[in-house]
Amino acid sequence: MSHRNKLKILNDPIYGFITIPDALIFDLIEHPYFQRLRRITQLGLTYLVYPGAYHTRFHHALGAMHLMGKAVRILRSKGHLITEEEEQAVNIAILLHDIGHGPFSHALENSIVPGIKHEKLSLEFMKALNQEFDGRLELAIQIFTNQYPKKFLHQLISSQLDMDRLDYLRRDCFYTGVSEGQVNSERLITMLNVADDQLVVDSKGIYSVEKFIVARRLMYWQVYLHKTVLSAEFLLIKILSRARAVYNEQMIIPSVLKRFIRENLPAEYSSLLPYYAQLDDYDIMSAIKEWQHHDDPVLSMLCKSLLKRKLLGAYISNTLPDHTLVQNIRECVASRYGIRHEDTAFLVFNEALTNNAYDPQRHRINLLYRDGSLQDIALAADQLNISALAQPVTKHFLFYPKECWPKG
Amino acid sequence: MSHRNKLKILNDPIYGFITIPDALIFDLIEHPYFQRLRRITQLGLTYLVYPGAYHTRFHHALGAMHLMGKAVRILRSKGHLITEEEEQAVNIAILLHDIGHGPFSHALENSIVPGIKHEKLSLEFMKALNQEFDGRLELAIQIFTNQYPKKFLHQLISSQLDMDRLDYLRRDCFYTGVSEGQVNSERLITMLNVADDQLVVDSKGIYSVEKFIVARRLMYWQVYLHKTVLSAEFLLIKILSRARAVYNEQMIIPSVLKRFIRENLPAEYSSLLPYYAQLDDYDIMSAIKEWQHHDDPVLSMLCKSLLKRKLLGAYISNTLPDHTLVQNIRECVASRYGIRHEDTAFLVFNEALTNNAYDPQRHRINLLYRDGSLQDIALAADQLNISALAQPVTKHFLFYPKECWPKG
Amino acid sequence: MSHRNKLKILNDPIYGFITIPDALIFDLIEHPYFQRLRRITQLGLTYLVYPGAYHTRFHHALGAMHLMGKAVRILRSKGHLITEEEEQAVNIAILLHDIGHGPFSHALENSIVPGIKHEKLSLEFMKALNQEFDGRLELAIQIFTNQYPKKFLHQLISSQLDMDRLDYLRRDCFYTGVSEGQVNSERLITMLNVADDQLVVDSKGIYSVEKFIVARRLMYWQVYLHKTVLSAEFLLIKILSRARAVYNEQMIIPSVLKRFIRENLPAEYSSLLPYYAQLDDYDIMSAIKEWQHHDDPVLSMLCKSLLKRKLLGAYISNTLPDHTLVQNIRECVASRYGIRHEDTAFLVFNEALTNNAYDPQRHRINLLYRDGSLQDIALAADQLNISALAQPVTKHFLFYPKECWPKG
Amino acid sequence: MSHRNKLKILNDPIYGFITIPDALIFDLIEHPYFQRLRRITQLGLTYLVYPGAYHTRFHHALGAMHLMGKAVRILRSKGHLITEEEEQAVNIAILLHDIGHGPFSHALENSIVPGIKHEKLSLEFMKALNQEFDGRLELAIQIFTNQYPKKFLHQLISSQLDMDRLDYLRRDCFYTGVSEGQVNSERLITMLNVADDQLVVDSKGIYSVEKFIVARRLMYWQVYLHKTVLSAEFLLIKILSRARAVYNEQMIIPSVLKRFIRENLPAEYSSLLPYYAQLDDYDIMSAIKEWQHHDDPVLSMLCKSLLKRKLLGAYISNTLPDHTLVQNIRECVASRYGIRHEDTAFLVFNEALTNNAYDPQRHRINLLYRDGSLQDIALAADQLNISALAQPVTKHFLFYPKECWPKG
């Protein structure tokens, strides 16, 4: 394929057009590893609550790369040197930052390959691609792993205001239709700057950053931690967990998934990559469609529940749910569905979830004033209590079959 | 579940909110038959070209129902009687008008159950639901099949300006990001009227209708008949066709799909409904993922081609492609991939596709003037040659493996 | 004009269409009193900073009426009785709530007719119209003045979440392009409810209300209290004030404005209505264009400053500006421009401005929980410190000719 | 003012942000000649029909400059050389292309300074500014007057697809809310190219260009030539014409307008520039507000008609209106309003208006094919009859006081 044909433009409902900046990036996008992301939804099962939210990891990665292009232009226009090689490297790093995600994104993290985070897997993918592309991803990997001297480049990929967040908040908001979460990513990028080799925000951007933090928090409670979304996602986790428990050779499983259900996977990850690189949402959903007819009543019930969207109820409280309440529900479940008491934990369970909208421990947002001084947004905001937002909020979710909730 | 809980509001990125109008419709939406549509994309494999286009039949059906609510309000405000029963019936009819669609929508129509159109299947679904819901869909079925005296109600469901088209054009445009195809559905609805029991458009809406026809035509050539989209969809068809040809009992196939691959299905459809009602995109994609490793080189090649997005090339012309050209390509394919000559038809094939933006033979758009007279838009338009648009345009597409296109 | 012709639809860039609900309201809109609002900008001179912000009081009033229609539909759907007469009355009340605004809206309030608020003037207009329309505005006036038993109807017109605010925040945001201020008015309206005859918000709307409060605060600092906007608006005030001071019979003044410049207006307002009802932005700007050539150097300088957009500088601080600083600037102004020291107060002056985003003293926002209980949003918000937002923030603005700011 | 402060960003509701590219352009924008455009509406009195349409020449000029920046980037990325000097020059030329517009834009062209087109006046303004800025607008003037060798640069400023049109169509559509007229300017710009020193469109842009032509035509009939808009604009013309006819020294007129009403202006224009440069919408409206009380019944009636929005009726036909009909209306007007028969021509008059959506005589749109060949869009379009659109359509408008239209 000629160079000419490789310079492509893609339609994006949000940004209008996304231009693929060069031939190497074009080839990375064409690679089956990256094409796999077309088959992995960005928001897992969120579409069961927000019927528009089918957008994929593939699309998000392209969007984040598009924003990276804007950020590089803005920072250069403010006098910060970014070489052509560095530009390509940050583009690659953001494009591939999530390539290690498994099916249904966050929902199944830890369920497919227990104990390994997707960032670690993304790095493995990058290394494999680096080998395949003759070391041309070296700089991207250095920046991704924060080993490159110019630290602000890494922060474009991972920080409070990285291109990942700026794209996913906007995109998730767009596809869910939760318009209150809208973030003007392009505007925020216009206000980015660099000081002391840190990514900072020009001081006049203070209200935009406040709005960003509030919008992000709103998206957490209305989308990411929406109780029905969580109910669906924990159902998915329980399904995989139950499938492992009842696994035998007769079980119908998509071939590529079988390996991950059957075996205790080695801690050493790289040998698994070729198999993992074939896994996507279709394997999981297809398995669930088969397992709804499985002999095990727990597995069958969990699968039907998901396919027919008869999800578990969720009860939210600020403290752990009452032990007696939980026991009563379990007994109901055991007798009503003929399930052994020990197995009721697949249908009645408690999860604690925490959100803090602004986490200065991990990543700070600094404002850059005209006199060159820096100040943490949490201190600078005159009125909006960002310190309050920095406090983590934990909520306890008790999930249970609706028929077994105590009456009255 | 109490009545109160049944009145639900859904988020929609396009219309903001969609309200579910009553409890019966709520129950129909909850039914597994309708929930299945969550797993069937509206535009098949179009997402391989427009990466945002993952929206589903489920979402489209809800959107069309939302527009129906607007249309009913507008027509009533212009003095046309629509009873509450009729309102519920048109809501149900539009909600279920596409419930008979199989996996990947239009792409596989005729491939899963050869010889039966999805409208026929939709009617079977409605009949089954009517039985389950004690005859409460009777009126909806009468309107859907155009046996109800008030003909304009049927036209809200099926005509040039029905709610189906008004939603899908807008929705497809929104999710593909092809902004030129944008149709202002709400505005068009505002101009609907009824004359002589026909759905018509107030004469001042002439420019909006012209714009609608032009936009629709643009969507055809840029999206629905986009050569790469077609290439992907014909690949899908060839995969199923090849799978049938090489089927044997050892073949790995998702259980629910197996019946449709293995058997010559009976012309009498209703007995198949329970199985068909379980089929969705996941079965097809999961099968393709298995078959990429199948022994048959044709099937395996077709499947890999789709999964890795190495699609067939497409050559478009106004006449049938040259016979010698086709033969040369076939020979190349046979020798290059070690495929028997007779099987090359799975990889090299010609398809003729026709589009006419305005088809007065099937459905006319009449304008209503202030003096009560009616005129066909094709005659009324003073300048834009809608008659020209009414001429069908046929294009011939030759699909072929890119490596075998003659050089020079 | 026939009834048929009176049912009109207007285009609105924000809501798509605005329908005029009945013939009486159509006639009120056609009345010269209301048509005058076409010539009064909603945001005064804000267009000097945000070049898109030329929208008018006329447009805002129609938009607020449009939202009122939605609110009435929503509240009725939740079982609250609103009669047809009440519906017409709230529509009229919101349509006319700002009809008493003078030229350049808030900027010149207190400058044209000192000591009288626009609400008082709006009421006078309503009374005059009520007489002209044979008492058909009686109920609207009762609701506007909060003398009608159903208090929640008044709150639709004046409260924290009234249709006035819901339209102007959205509209101002739209026309300024300050996208962070975006408020999803339709969504908030969907969550309105009535409890104990008070307008409240369903508890699930908590995040939307939080977002509304944060967006409103952002609009204050980025638009309404933007220092350059304030600089322009205070210039306008000083111009009128100076014109009064130097008034004589030879001065060129648009006829209708002359009365308001020349005379000490009577406290008793109604006799002035016929003259006031002819005043609009054009009189003020036309006068300023004449006065730029006036003999008085202060008046001339102020007018040129506005027309050429050479505005006064603004220095913002949390305390009163230093007295010596102010004196130094005044001396510079006196000597540089040949102005008497006592007149320098027209060019160098201090203003204190206060904003609190949520003012529970005046109007509370109560959330309605499923169990029927009510809670103030400031107490209910789990994390966002709305109490903090409820604290008024005062800033001091010192305005001065830029050439006279001390160097160094 | 330091260089740093001169790099400014403006909010635009359509494009988000508009960046002022350099200090010279910043100074041109600050100049009173350009600031005057803040007081001239883009669409004249169109706001009497579309209440959102108050946008100004100032805003449009900035928007067109913003698009120019995009066009330059795109053309450079396709390998066409545009030097920094040329870039600045096209930016200046597009910024100032309409600076010669008088009050109420097109409406009063030929009424204020009869016989001189605004392009001619724009050039005079540019020459004056060129002198003031030491010859730094030389290149811009060469390009504006099409005397620069690279012809495609001129076409960016004036041709079928120039930045002027691409901005005004989008902006007028946005502010009127006539969404059918929406043009995706950014997308079209992406498809611009240069061949044989002509601005052309890449062939794949064919549907976008078709859509552009159809949208433009729609805007003509729905906005620019809307009968009520025309009625208001011709009223304005008649007002000025009548004011000239009855002028005497006692007449109240804003000072700057007086010169243009009183005198027969010299054909030699440049001496008038200083006065013309002070004229804006406020002078006209202010005069009309005074003249509604003038002794002459014709002038007074015309002015009241505009201020109260009691506009003349408009009757549209394809041929000249019947002579007897016109005479009957004139007689009615004469007797009903006590106006001399010869003066009735100010209230009853006929105008012929012509629109052709695509005018290949003046400017052709050429498509550039992959093989390097060019073809006129009118020939290339396979189905949409652009040749038909190229035929001018003339309509005759008869305006008349509504009370005098013959009954029955």
Banded pLDDT at B8 (limits 50, 70, 90): confident
Say which residue the tokens 């830890």 belong to.
Answer: A110
CB A210 within 8 A of CB A353: no
Class of the CATH domain delimited by D3-215: mainly alpha
Banded pLDDT at A6 (limits 50, 70, 90): very low
For residue D310, give the amino acid letter.
K
The three-class DSSP label of residue A408 is: coil
Average per-residue pLDDT for chain A: 89
Closest by Cβ to B11, choosing from A58, A177, A255 = A177
Instruction: Please tell me the predicted confidence (pLDDT) of residue B3.
Output: 37
Banded pLDDT at A69 (limits 50, 70, 90): very high
Using a CB–CB cutoff of 8 Å, tell me whether A384 touches chain C: yes
Interchain contact, C384 vs A217, CB within 8 Å: yes
Q: Which two tokens stand for residue D342?
A: 């010869």
Strand partners, A10: A18
Instruction: Please tell me the predicted confidence (pLDDT) of residue B106.
Output: 73
Instruction: Please tell me the predicted confidence (pLDDT) of residue D97.
Output: 96
User: Which positions ≥6 away from D98 have C-beta within 8 Å?
Assistant: D37, D57, D60, D61, D118, D122, D164
Torsion, CA A84, CA A90, CA A92, CA A95, rounded to 10? -140
Using a CB–CB cutoff of 8 Å, tell me whether C214 touches chain A: yes
Residue A12: closest C-alpha in chain B = B177
pLDDT tens string A299-332: 999 999 999 999 999 998 889 999 999 999 999 9
CA distance C140 to C93: 5
Q: Which residues does chain C have within 8 Å of residue A393's beta carbon, measured at their own beta carbons? A: 382-383
Residue D113 has pLDDT above 90, yes or no: no
Instruction: Please tell me the predicted confidence (pLDDT) of residue B387.
Output: 64
CA distance A194 to A198: 5
Distance of CA A333 to CAs A244, A305, A313, A341, A351, Å? 22, 14, 13, 8, 19
Please give the residue that has the higher pLDDT: either B269 or C76: C76
pLDDT tens string D227-265: 999 999 999 999 999 999 999 999 999 999 998 888 766
Banded pLDDT at D387 (limits 50, 70, 90): low
Q: What are phi and psi of C272, to 5 degrees?
A: -85, -15
Interchain contact, C58 vs D39, CB within 8 Å: no
Backbone Cα Rg of chain B = 23
Using a CB–CB cutoff of 8 Å, tell me whether D210 touches chain B: yes
Please give the residue that has the higher pLDDT: either C381 or A187: A187
CB C240 within 8 A of CB C279: no
Banded pLDDT at C105 (limits 50, 70, 90): confident
What share of chain B in percent tops pLDDT 90? 66
Residue A115 has pLDDT above 90, yes or no: no
| Residue A179: Cβ within 10 Å count | 18
Using a CB–CB cutoff of 8 Å, tell me whether A86 touches chain B: no
Q: Which of A59, A118, A154, A294 is catalytic?
A: A118
Classify residue A251 by its DSSP letter: S
Residue D379 has pLDDT above 80, yes or no: no
Residues 330-359 of A with CB under 8 A from B: none
Instruction: Please tell me the predicted confidence (pLDDT) of residue D110.
Output: 73
Domain boundaries, chain B: 3-226+370-391, 313-356+392-408
| Residue B342: Cβ within 10 Å count | 9
Residue A110 has pLDDT above 90, yes or no: no
Residue B212: closest C-alpha in chain D = D180
pLDDT tens string C236-265: 999 999 999 999 999 999 999 998 888 766
Residue B204 has pLDDT above 60, yes or no: yes
Domain C3-226+365-391 has CATH 3.40.50.2000: no
CA distance C29 to C57: 12
Domain made up of C312-356+393-408: CATH architecture: Up-down Bundle (1.20)
CA distance A349 to C328: 73
Q: What are phi and psi of C341, to 5 degrees?
A: -55, -40
Backbone Cα Rg of chain A = 23
Closest by Cβ to A11, choosing from B41, B58, B176 = B176
CB B347 within 8 A of CB B331: no
Instruction: Please tell me the predicted confidence (pLDDT) of residue D7.
Output: 52
Q: Measuring CA to CA, which residue among D163, D164, D180, D194 is closest to residue D76? A: D194
Pinpoint the alpha helices (H) of C31-79. Answer: 32-35, 57-77
For the whole prediction, is pTM greater than 0.90? no
Q: What is the DSSP pairing of strand A393-400 with strand A374-376?
A: unpaired
Q: Which residues does chain C have within 8 Å of residue B16's beta carbon, measured at their own beta carbons? A: 184, 186-187
Banded pLDDT at C1 (limits 50, 70, 90): very low
The three-class DSSP label of residue C60 is: helix
Please give the residue that has the higher pLDDT: either D174 or D377: D174
The three-class DSSP label of residue A133 is: coil
Interchain contact, D47 vs C38, CB within 8 Å: yes
Distance of CA D63 to CAs B365, C30, C52, C307, D171, Å? 38, 34, 11, 22, 8
Please give the residue that has the higher pLDDT: either B384 or A53: A53
Banded pLDDT at D5 (limits 50, 70, 90): very low
Using a CB–CB cutoff of 8 Å, tell me whether B16 touches chain C: yes
Residue A33 has pLDDT above 90, yes or no: yes
Burial of C318 (0-12, 13-18, 19+ CB in 10 A): exposed
CB B333 within 8 A of CB B348: yes
pLDDT tens string B42-68: 999 999 999 999 999 999 999 999 999
Q: Measuring CA to CA, which residue among D239, D38, D352, A323 is closest to residue C48? A: D38
Catalytic residue list of B: 118
Residue D5: closest C-alpha in chain A = A370
Instruction: Please tell me the predicted confidence (pLDDT) of residue A2.
Output: 35
The pairs formed by D132-135 with CB atoms below 8 angstroms and a separation of 24 or more are D132/D31, D133/D24, D133/D27, D133/D28
Homologous superfamily of B3-226+370-391:
Hypothetical protein af1432 (1.10.3210.10)
Q: Measuring CA to CA, which residue among B201, B236, B393 is closest to residue B316? A: B393
- A213-227, B143-157, D49-63, D301-315: which has the minimum mean pLDDT? A213-227
CA distance A104 to A257: 14
CA distance C263 to C211: 47
Chains meeting A at 3+ CB pairs closer than 8 A?
B, C, D
- A118 labelled catalytic: yes
Interchain contact, D9 vs A190, CB within 8 Å: yes
Residue D89 has pLDDT above 70, yes or no: yes
Sign of CA dihedral A356, A357, A362, A366: negative
Domain A3-224+372-379 falls in which CATH fold? Answer: Hypothetical protein af1432 (1.10.3210)
CA distance A140 to A129: 11
Instruction: Please tell me the predicted confidence (pLDDT) of residue B265.
Output: 63
Q: Measuring CA to CA, which residue among C407, C367, C382 is closest to residue C188? A: C367
Interchain contact, D357 vs B383, CB within 8 Å: yes
For residue B105, give the amino acid letter.
S
The three-class DSSP label of residue B390 is: helix
Interchain contact, A175 vs B13, CB within 8 Å: yes
Please give the residue that has the higher pLDDT: either C370 or C71: C71
Q: Which residues does chain D have within 8 Å of residue C286's beta carbon, measured at their own beta carbons? A: 254, 282-283, 285-286
Mean pLDDT for the stretch of residues C356-371: 77
CB A68 within 8 A of CB A94: yes
Using a CB–CB cutoff of 8 Å, tell me whether C17 touches chain B: yes
Closest by Cβ to B32, choosing from A35, A38, A308 = A308
Strand partners, A349: A399
Interchain contact, D180 vs B208, CB within 8 Å: yes
CA distance C77 to D328: 55
Q: What are phi and psi of B321, to 5 degrees?
A: -65, 155
Torsion, CA C200, CA C201, CA C207, CA C212, rounded to 10? -60
Interchain contact, D175 vs C254, CB within 8 Å: no
User: Testing the interface with B: which of A54, A172, A303 to mutate, by most B Cβ within 10 A?
Assistant: A54
